[in-house]
Structure 1
Amino acid sequence: VEELIERYRQSEGLKCPQKPKIQKLLEVSRQSIGITQGQQMARIEIATLVRRYRQLEQEIAALTEQLIALAQTTVEYEWLQTIPGLGDATIVELLSEIGSFHQYQDPRQLMKLAGLTLKENSSGQHKGQKRISKRGRKRLRALLFRVMMPLIRHNEAFRALHEYYTTRPVNPLRKKQSIVVLCGKLLKILYAVCVKQQAFDGERMIRDISHTHTQAYA
């Protein structure tokens, strides 16, 4: 067990499991039939695949650096990086899906592009629930959902807005519903900071929450 733990620690990119799991692995391996033929070629094939994997990692890293450098030459990059929680890789993905924000006349066009516009499932006299249309760029929509979780954790304004949506006394949202709404909110903010060329203002977002809460009881 100790020898296997040491092998794990010396290997790059391998997470060392707990001792009970290693002990179980050893017990199972003693009862395993294993490969009895073609062992040498199997080792060669595995070594070849590992080398190719490492090569692809280096190529992806080099390409990512080039894309980040390209994104930094855009007008949008300066303002997008003012949003806490948006890293360079995310900015590259956003610009690759959306392009220049200046080519859009209204943030609602971005919401339509991402398939976040609401539609009602109705039939005859029956009115169903409103859901997002999903008629848009699937990768952009997936990116927004993927970005939203780190934003809720690391961006105070988005965290406060998520908490407000899910705990407000009137019409509270489920967590998933809140995330959908916040994705639309993020697109509006991205559009505003890029087109107006103003840095992200988290305090203003929090003040808007208080204002909305006051109006609800007015």
Structure 2
Amino acid sequence: MVQREIAINIKRYKMLTEEICALEEGLEKPVLTLSGIAEILIVTGVEMVIVIELYSELGDIKKFDNAHQILKYAGLNLRESSPGKYKDKHELSNRGGLNCGLCFFELLCLLFDIIEPLKALHRYYTT
């Protein structure tokens, strides 16, 4: 009984992965025609799925003048937390699109694994 359920689940898994691959291949051609996508894909390690997520959240990247505006739109800009007359630490503003911030987080996790200087910087600040 258990072996049969495992076999069924393996078949479902294979079928779902084939469907995901077919969907990704179908999305590649239309997405590459959008402006700004080719420039993002130049970065090594950036996957098409993350680029599609970012584009769906941000829209056309060319509407932003600089990177600070994109981070502010995503809710990833720093603000000072000072409840009184003393300056406290800086923290994320948490204003902006939650999904957009999560897309940037996924992208940064990928880049931390791939780019060695970023990996060293991450290790320095987290250990």
TM-score (norm 2): 0.73
Question: Is 1:175 the counterpart of 2:99 in the alignment?
Answer: no
Structure 1 contact 114–135 (Cα < 8 Å) conserved? yes
RMSD of aligned C-alpha atoms? Answer: 2.7
Give the counterpart of 2:47 among 82, 87, 104.
Answer: 87
Quote the Cα distance in structure 2 between the aligned partners of 1:139 and 1:151. 18
Structure 1 contact 118–130 (Cα < 8 Å) conserved? yes
Quote the Cα distance in structure 1 between the aligned partners of 2:22 and 2:100. 23
Aligned residues, how many? 124
Quote the Cα distance in structure 2 between the aligned partners of 1:137 and 1:94. 11
| Helix, strand or coil at the partner of 1:56 | helix
Deviation of 1:75 after TM superposition, in Å, equals 2.0
Structure 1 contact 120–129 (Cα < 8 Å) conserved? yes
What is the one-letter code of the residue matched to 1:48? I
Quote the Cα distance in structure 2 between the aligned partners of 1:162 and 1:44. 44
CA deviation string 1:27-61 (max 9, x = no partner): xxxxxxxxxxxxx3x44333332222222111111
Quote the Cα distance in structure 2 between the aligned partners of 1:114 and 1:128. 23
| Helix, strand or coil at the partner of 1:126 | coil
| Helix, strand or coil at the partner of 1:127 | coil
Give the counterpart of 2:12 among 27, 45, 52.
Answer: 52
Quote the Cα distance in structure 2 between the aligned partners of 1:105 and 1:125. 34
Deviation of 1:155 after TM superposition, in Å, equals 4.3
TM-score (norm 1): 0.47
Deviation of 1:106 after TM superposition, in Å, equals 4.3
Per the alignment, residue 33 of structure 2 pairs with 73
**TM alignment of 1:36-185, pairs within 5 A:** 40=1, 42-152=2-112, 154-155=114-115, 159=117, 175=125
Quote the Cα distance in structure 2 between the aligned partners of 1:61 and 1:97. 22
Deviation of 1:84 after TM superposition, in Å, equals 3.0
Q: Structure 1: 5+ residue runs without aligned partners?
A: 1-39, 167-173, 177-218
Q: Percent identity?
A: 29
What is the one-letter code of the residue matched to 2:125? K
Deviation of 1:149 after TM superposition, in Å, equals 4.2
Deviation of 1:144 after TM superposition, in Å, equals 2.3
Quote the Cα distance in structure 2 between the aligned partners of 1:75 and 1:69. 13
What is the one-letter code of the residue matched to 2:53? E
| Helix, strand or coil at the partner of 1:122 | coil
Change (3 A) 1:44 1:151: closer
